[in-house]
């Protein structure tokens, strides 16, 4: 698979500032499950102010879209309670080059 076949997804979720750290903690638990998924390359989470930010890199868009693992649905349910509305921003980018990430 060529580098440019890989996809990078960036999601940003808004939460009350007091709840954003809890939201990121749930996202980190989800990332631990994602490491076992087909096509997983990177899953990183952090926050700035009241925004939780997730960056994911997958072999293909299909790998990202078909992520259905045992335990993940429960974590998504917990996260939905903490976030405010739909993702504020979502970006999907083809990976054209890289530095520092072994693909």
Instruction: Provide the pLDDT for residue 99.
Output: 60
Work out the number of other CB atoms within 10 angstroms of the CB of residue 3: 11
Cα 7-8-10 angle, rounded to 5 deg:
145
Between CA 82 and CA 47 the distance in angstroms is 14
Instruction: Provide the pLDDT for residue 45.
Output: 85
Instruction: Provide the pLDDT for residue 66.
Output: 67
Between CA 52 and CA 50 the distance in angstroms is 7
Q: Distance of alpha carbon 81 from its chain centroid, rounded?
A: 17
Residues 6+ apart with CB under 8 A from 51: 12, 13, 14, 15, 20, 88
Written as tens digits, the pLDDT of the chain (103 aa) is: 555 567 788 888 888 888 888 988 988 888 888 888 888 888 888 888 888 888 888 888 888 776 666 677 788 788 888 888 777 777 787 777 666 655 5
Instruction: Provide the pLDDT for residue 32.
Output: 86
Instruction: Provide the pLDDT for residue 70.
Output: 60
Domains and CATH numbers, the chain: 3-94 (3.30.70.100)
């Amino acid at each position: 698979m060529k580098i440019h076949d890989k996809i990078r997804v960036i999601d940003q979720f808004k939460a009350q500032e007091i709840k954003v750290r809890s939201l990121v903690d749930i996202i980190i638990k989800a990332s631990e499950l994602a490491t076992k998924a087909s096509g997983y390359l990177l899953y990183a989470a952090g926050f700035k102010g009241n925004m939780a930010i997730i960056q994911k890199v997958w072999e293909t868009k299909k790998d990202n879209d078909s992520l259905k693992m045992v335990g993940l649905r429960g974590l998504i349910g917990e996260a939905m309670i903490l976030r405010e509305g739909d993702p504020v921003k979502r970006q999907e980018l083809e990976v054209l080059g890289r530095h520092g990430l072994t693909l």
